[in-house]
Amino acid sequence: MDKKEISVKNALIHGDALTKLSAIVMGAGMIGHKQIVKGLMVLACEVAFVFYMIGTGLHSLSMLPSLGTQAQEKVWNEAKQIYEYTVGDNSQQILLAGVVTCFVIAAIVLLWILQLRHSYNLQKTLEKKGHVPTFKEDIFNLFDKNLHITLMTLPCLGILIFNIVPLVYMISMAFTSYSKEGEHLILFDWNGLTQFQRVLNLQGNIGRQFFQVLRWTIIWAIFATFLNYILGMILAMIINRKDTKWKAFWRFCFVLSIAVPQFVMLMIMNIMLQPSGAINVLLKNLGWISTSLPFWTDATWAKITIIIINLWIGIPYTMLQVTGILQNIPAELYEAAKMDGAGPVKIFFKITLPYMLFVTTPYLISSFVGNINNFNVIYLLSGGGPTYVGDTAGQTDLLVTWLYKLTVDQQYYNLGAVIGIMTFIILTIITLVTYRNSSSYKNEEAFM
Amino acid sequence: MEDTKRNKLSPRKRLTNFLVHLLLAVLAVIWVLPIFWIILTSFRAEPGAYTNTFLPQGYTLANYIKLFTDRNVLNFPKMFKNTLIIAICCCFFSTFFVLSVAYSLSRMRFKFRKPYMNIAMILGLFPGFMAMIAQYFILKAMGLTEGSAIRIGLIIVYSACTGLGFQIAKGFFDTIPRSIDEAAVMDGATQWQVFTRITMPLAKPIVIYTVMTSFIAPWVDFIFAKVICRANADQFTVAIGLWNMLQKEYIYQWYTCFAAGAVIISIPIAILFIYMQRFYVEGMSGAVKG
């Protein structure tokens, strides 16, 4: 049967009484068309939905526009001779309940469409004396041609409940006054784009910090991605050189540093580079310096230190990842270049690098995204510091670490949500632009 | 033999070779030194984070003993037990999620397939923390942020979204020839049988890889654990414990124990990682080729 014919519109116009009935009593069409168990299950969903809406859903929806108005109050209880607290509204819970209700409604609408189309389909099949799958056959199909439904339902539910719902919830916070500023932690209101204006206003304190953090985030991501990439590639090439001996041993030395959990290594580095940490002690004992080097106390030092330590962490990864791809570069290319008298540096920039860029653009994009969102390195190394008085963002804070500080430490939830949204927008733009302009997107077929 | 070979190389080449090996040696020292230093520190007899000498003055096993016997201040054995329980559960759920999604996307064709992959890509662009703070509120609404329910909360947080990380496993499944499946279907096998009896045994390396990565995750994550546990000290995982040992109030007493703890959790992870290395490389080059 033509798939286009099975639509909600057709079901409502051409459907028989039972199909039309299922627009109100969900599952009626299935029960009437020989799929009783399935129909009853759909009906149960509708009943549950109605009970949910009457129980809490309608209330949460009605509270959503105001986000609650009743503050907690102290009331004198004459009989007990004490002050009692009335239960006030909690805007954060109201918002969460509202978001969840919206998702529940969306789910029931989806189910409504699906069951209506399905009933119509069943009706048509029966009219043509076709075979309607029994419940047993449906179950069997869930393990055969519909296996993807069985396999993907739980993971999708997990993603929906613990990734998409939280994200929508957090995004909606950006449009409220949910913040410690002005004591809006329990009761807050919608306030539109105010927070966005604050963040984008270069004159304001928050705006100034935002652009400062953004600049460092991008500088950091560029350095961390490309330095790691190029130096890691050079290291891999040096180890794989024909004349290099003990290849496995060298590789082992570098891989060992990946094997140690990253956060442990970062914390150790942080301690080692403190003013009286091991590195300063070593340098002093050797007589090379007389006062400690300001690894974390000076903004420029801290930035350079972070980039260098990230090299220490990242280079072995790149080395591992590119080794296989490097060996795929056609040998003819190198031979031709050597014939023309190109030196190793020229060969690297004219052949190896373009080839690698061509093959690994997707990898580069994902590692760039990873670096912009690289929380651990900054948080555990410098903690975002040094921080100037009056700022919430330190000199080495990335957007993510600032987001963390704003929400977890300062409880400026609305501002944090705005920063998160901005990060997402920036990443989307960068990803789309680089991906569209990459040669692997323009010309999927071949290199050169 | 060695001499004749060496004579064949020109002096220029011999010099380059020498310089390359020297460079590698210097780099290797830079990369191994911090690891070496932390191992030495874990056996150091003097307490405190900052000492006046680079190498320890005396060696002892007391740090390791203290780590596993001192239960009053920072209860490391308890944390170890918590993390182990969480890791085992996570390992089970994550492996199931990742392999199910990867297999479906690689082998089955359905309408939701492309949208799913696009959604996964878009979700990956959001900073992980944004979801994390809201996740805390959701878990709180479900009552999973108090007492021993925190464990369930952490298991959920670590495994619920793993269905988004299907890329490496999918890349691996893509390399298994479809003709094998088709032959099995001809012989009357259902898709479920193909998945469990044919693809899974063939994909053993990637199954092991997935099991190991999801087992390691709770040991090395500290930020999700910190946000969800808050101040519930008896639910701490190893990572928070180690982080706490470096805070101002504990660092003098606990620094060398921190080193010992770091060594203890690094050893199994290092062994797993060195074993997994080749799948990591294969997965990577597979994903890029695709």
Output the CA–CA distances (angstroms, integers) from residue A371 to A312, A314, A377, B11, in the order listed.
Answer: 15, 11, 9, 44
Q: Are residues A234 and A150 in the same domain?
A: no
Which tens digits make up the pLDDT trace of B136-192?
888 988 888 888 889 999 999 899 889 888 888 888 888 888 888 889 989 988 889
Q: Are residues A155 and A228 in the same domain?
A: no
> For position B290, what pLDDT does the model report?
32
Minimum Cα–Cα distance from B185: chain A residue = A144
Average pLDDT, chain B: 84
Domain stop point among A162, A195, A228: A195
Domain stop point among A155, A177, A195: A195
Output the CA–CA distances (angstroms, integers) from residue B108 to A162, B54, B178, in the order listed.
Answer: 25, 59, 11
> For position A225, what pLDDT does the model report?
92
**Cβ separation B133–A413 shorter than 8 A:** yes
End-to-end CA distance of chain A: 47
Look at residue B18 and tell me whether its pLDDT is greater than 50: yes
**Cβ separation B128–A373 shorter than 8 A:** yes
- Position A3 in a domain: no
The parent domain of residue A167 ranges over 8-195
Q: Are residues A360 and A410 in the same domain?
A: yes
Look at residue B1 and tell me whether its pLDDT is greater than 50: no
Q: Is the dihedral of CA B231, B232, B234, B235 positive or negative?
A: negative
**Cβ separation A162–B126 shorter than 8 A:** no
CA A165-A166-A167 angle, to 5 degrees, is: 90
> For position A246, what pLDDT does the model report?
85
**Cβ separation B270–A427 shorter than 8 A:** no
* Helical packing angle, B251-289 and B238-245, nearest 10°: 130
> For position A221, what pLDDT does the model report?
93
Which tens digits make up the pLDDT trace of B201-245?
888 888 888 888 888 888 888 888 888 888 888 888 888 888 888
Option in B16, B274, B288 nearest A360 (CB): B288
- Position A274 in a domain: yes
Please, which pLDDT band fits residue B268 given cuts at 50, 70 and 90? confident
> For position B7, what pLDDT does the model report?
54
**Which residues of chain B lie closer than 8 angstroms to A428, CB-CB?**
122, 125
Please, which pLDDT band fits residue B288 given cuts at 50, 70 and 90? very low
Q: Cα–Cα distance between B195 and A121 in angstroms, integer?
A: 30
Among B145, B125, B126, which residue's Cα sits nearest to residue B135? B145
To the nearest whole angstrom, how far is the Cα of B284 from the nearest Cα of chain A? 6
**Cβ separation A147–B255 shorter than 8 A:** no
**Which residues of chain A lie closer than 8 angstroms to B262, CB-CB?**
260-261, 264, 268
Q: pTM of the prediction? A: 0.85
Q: Cα–Cα distance between B88 and B90 in angstroms, integer?
A: 6
Q: Rounded to 5 degrees, what are φ and ψ at B59? A: -115, 145
Q: Are residues A164 and A223 in the same domain?
A: no
Among A32, A205, A51, which residue's Cα sits nearest to residue A123? A32
Give the residue with greater pLDDT, A71 vs B64. Answer: B64
- For chain B, residues classed under CATH 1.10.3720.10 are 66-289
Q: Is domain B66-289 in CATH 3.40.50.300, yes or no?
A: no
- Position A90 in a domain: yes
To the nearest whole angstrom, how far is the Cα of B199 from the nearest Cα of chain A? 14
Look at residue B56 and tell me whether its pLDDT is greater than 90: no
**Which residues of chain B lie closer than 8 angstroms to A407, CB-CB?**
129, 133
Q: Are residues A134 and A283 in the same domain?
A: no
Among A365, A396, A391, which residue's Cα sits nearest to residue A379? A396
Which tens digits make up the pLDDT trace of A59-75?
888 888 888 777 777 77
Q: Are residues A174 and A188 in the same domain?
A: yes
Q: How many domains does chain A have?
A: 2
Q: Give 3-state DSSP helix, strand, coil % of chain A, rounded to 5.
A: 70, 5, 30
Sequence-ordered alpha helix ranges (H) in A286-384:
299-326, 331-339, 344-347, 353-372, 375-381
Do the Cβ atoms of B99 and B176 come closer than 8 Å?
no
**Cβ separation A245–B101 shorter than 8 A:** no
- Position A372 in a domain: yes
> For position A4, what pLDDT does the model report?
65
Q: Are residues A428 and A279 in the same domain?
A: yes
Q: Cα–Cα distance between B246 and A204 in angstroms, integer?
A: 36
Q: Are residues A186 and A289 in the same domain?
A: no
| Number of Cβ atoms within 10 Å of the Cβ of A192 | 11
Look at residue B269 and tell me whether its pLDDT is greater than 90: no
To the nearest whole angstrom, how far is the Cα of B225 from the nearest Cα of chain A? 13
Which tens digits make up the pLDDT trace of B97-142?
999 999 999 888 888 898 998 898 888 888 877 888 888 888 988 8
To the nearest whole angstrom, how far is the Cα of A204 from the nearest Cα of chain B? 24
In this structure, chain A runs to a length of: 448
Sole residue written with tokens 């369930």: B152
- In A86-240 the beta strands, taken as DSSP E runs, fall at none
Minimum Cα–Cα distance from B274: chain A residue = A259
Q: Are residues A220 and A245 in the same domain?
A: yes
Is there a cis peptide before residue A344, judged by omega within 30 degrees of 0? no
With left for phi above 0 and alpha for psi between -120 and 50, is residue A386 left, alpha or beta?
Answer: beta
> For position A393, what pLDDT does the model report?
84
Q: Are residues A285 and A407 in the same domain?
A: yes
Residue A299: which CATH number? Answer: 1.10.3720.10
**Cβ separation B31–A243 shorter than 8 A:** no
The tokens for B285 are 């080059």
**Which residues of chain A lie closer than 8 angstroms to B161, CB-CB?**
158-159, 162-163
> For position B2, what pLDDT does the model report?
45
Q: Are residues A110 and A140 in the same domain?
A: yes
Q: Cα–Cα distance between A129 and A143 in angstroms, integer?
A: 26
| Kind and range of the H or E run holding A74 | strand A74-77
Q: Are residues A292 and A433 in the same domain?
A: yes
- Position A437 in a domain: yes
Domain stop point among A195, A223, A249: A195
> For position B89, what pLDDT does the model report?
93
Residues of chain A with pLDDT under 50: 1, 444-446, 448
Grouping H, G, I as helix, E, B as strand and the rest as coil, residue A77 is strand
**Cβ separation A264–B266 shorter than 8 A:** yes
